[in-house]
Every structure is written in structure tokens, then in C-alpha cells.
Amino acid sequence: MLLKDKVVLITGGSRGIGAAVAVEMARQGADVAINSHSGGSAAAEVIAAVEAQGRRCISVEGDVALPETAAAFVEAAVEAFGKVDVFVSNAGICPFHAFLDMPAETLKRTMEVNLHGAYFMTQAAANQMVKQGNGGAIVAISSISALVGGEFQTHYTPTKAGVHSLMQSCAIALGKHGIRCNSVLPGTILTDINKDDLADPKKREYMEGRIPLGRLGQPEDIGGAVAFLASDMAAYVTGAALLVDGGAFVNLQ
């Protein structure tokens, strides 16, 4: 087990990648706190799946775009489990939309959830880790989209580049406290975030065709990379980015 008796906090942990990461963390021996926005029954399913691994789980609802959500999430986790060892910044949205008529509100909301949310949450988790004095690990779910663009993602890709940049700067700011900060860059993973976009068979076939490993990703494909970066196996890894994309990024021709 890579994370025996560690406490892991995950934003956006009720569905998709965050939910799969929560279960993997539990499989690796950790207790888990998930945040989500209206997680409802999905959050309850994640709690059950973590408990099935013999670990504890709490769910705290809140919009990561609001600074007060971060303080409340960390406080609830400390109250339940006594500490924070690992923080995974995962919550995100991607409302696909063309560039030329992008509504200002869609741009603003995407920035606030994906980037400001990651900032507030990372800051709150890091403050708790510094207070504890034992170091820690922070992993942000960035994206292959931090490196390459998307016609209908002009509001989204800058947030994913920003999240990785946040991890790089935090690696420097927090290194003296023994806190490591890294990013995981998933390729296209089948979740609710792209359900509508990939409902178009032509788009889905095109995306699949770009991937040397021959398939789109599943949420479970991301858990191992996060567990590695969160664990002592990665004790000398900070400010790094790990692509988990089936080879899509390097596939020029």
C-alpha cells in the first residue's frame, strides 16, 4: 500500500476522475474526504466504495469557486480525520463553446471554478500542512489541454495550463515546508464532462484514432498516477507533470 493511514482530500470527488481517484486512494490505505458541487447520491456511492475498501470517507458539499468553501472543506476533514497529508485538486468544468461568441459569463465561471478554485483549495490545504509541520503532497488534475488547444475550449485550456503553472510555483513556495506539488495531465477520459461532445460518433472515432494505445481513457486510468505522485515513491518529485493520455500528445503522424 502506497498511502497507508494517510488522509487524502479530493475536490470534485463525487463523479468521474475524482471519484476513481478517491477509490484508488482508499485501495492504497488512505482515509478520504471528497468535496463536490451538489454531489448527492453520486457522493454517497463514493463513500460506499471507499468504505468497501475498509477506509473512512466524508463528503462535504461546496462550490470551489468560493474561497470560503476551501476553509470549510479542510476544517471538516481535520475534524473527521485529524490531519491532511495529501490534497488532490480535481474539480473542474468544460462547457464546450465556440470562441467568437463565447459568453463572458461562461468564460468567467470556467476560470473561477477551474483556476481560482484550485488556487483557494491548494492554499487552504497547504496552510494546514504547514501548520502540521510534516510536509505533504499536492496533486492537481491539469490536462493534456495544458499543452495543446481545442477549438471549443478557448476558455478551458488556459485554466488547465494555469493549474499546472500553479503547481510549479507552489512547488517552489512550499518546498521549504517539505510539501511537493505536481500535476497529472490526463488525455481524453470518458466522463460526464465530455459525454455530449463524444456522443457525436465522428468526433469519438477521431479522438480514438489519435491514441496509440487504441482507446479513450477511463477514470480508473488516472488513479495510479495520482497515487504515485502522492506517495513516498515520488519523494524527490516536485513541480513535475505526468501525462496520462495513452500516447495522444506525441502522436503527430
Ligand X SMILES: NC(=O)C1=CN([C@@H]2O[C@H](COP(=O)(O)OP(=O)(O)OC[C@H]3O[C@@H](n4cnc5c(N)ncnc54)[C@H](O)[C@@H]3O)[C@@H](O)[C@H]2O)C=CC1
- CB-count exposure of residue 210 (10 Å: 0-12, 13-18, 19+): middle
Distances (CA, A) of 141 to 30, 92, 99: 19, 9, 24
Nearer to ligand LFPNKLMZ, 39 or 217 (CB): 217
Residue 179, φ and ψ in degrees, nearest 5: -105, 120
Residue 158, φ and ψ in degrees, nearest 5: -65, -30
Name the minimum Å distance from CB 72 to ligand LFPNKLMZ: 27
Residue from 36, 59, 110, 122 in contact with ligand X (CB under 6 A): 36
Residue from 27, 37, 160, 180 in contact with ligand LFPNKLMZ (CB under 6 A): 160
Burial 16-47 (b: 16+ CB within 10 A, else e): bbbbbbbbbbbbbbbbbbbbbbebeebbeebb
Q: Which does 60 bind (CB under 5 to 8 A by kind): ligand LFPNKLMZ, ligand X, none?
A: none
Q: Which does 129 bind (CB under 5 to 8 A by kind): ligand LFPNKLMZ, ligand X, none?
A: none
Name the minimum Å distance from CB 7 to ligand X: 19
Q: Which amino acid is at 57?
A: C
- Establish whether 143 is a catalytic residue: yes
Q: Which does 150 bind (CB under 5 to 8 A by kind): ligand LFPNKLMZ, ligand X, none?
A: ligand LFPNKLMZ
Q: Which of 6, 160, 183, 231 is catalytic?
A: 160
Q: Is 230 in the site for ligand X (CB under 6 A)?
A: no
Residues 63-82 that bind ligand X (CB under 6 A): 63-65
- Establish whether 160 is a catalytic residue: yes
Q: Is 188 in the site for ligand LFPNKLMZ (CB under 6 A)?
A: yes
Q: Nearest to residue 4, comparing CAs of 237, 236, 233, 160?
A: 233
For 113-182, where are the alpha helices, taking DSSP H only?
A: 117-132, 157-175
Measure the CA–CA gap between 103 and 205, rounded to whole angstroms: 29
Nearer to ligand LFPNKLMZ, 96 or 228 (CB): 96
SS3 state of residue 137: strand
> Residues in the site for ligand X, rule: CB under 6 A?
11-18, 35-37, 39, 63-65, 90-94, 113, 141, 143, 186, 188-189, 191-194
> Residues in the site for ligand LFPNKLMZ, rule: CB under 6 A?
94, 143-145, 150, 160, 188, 193-194, 197
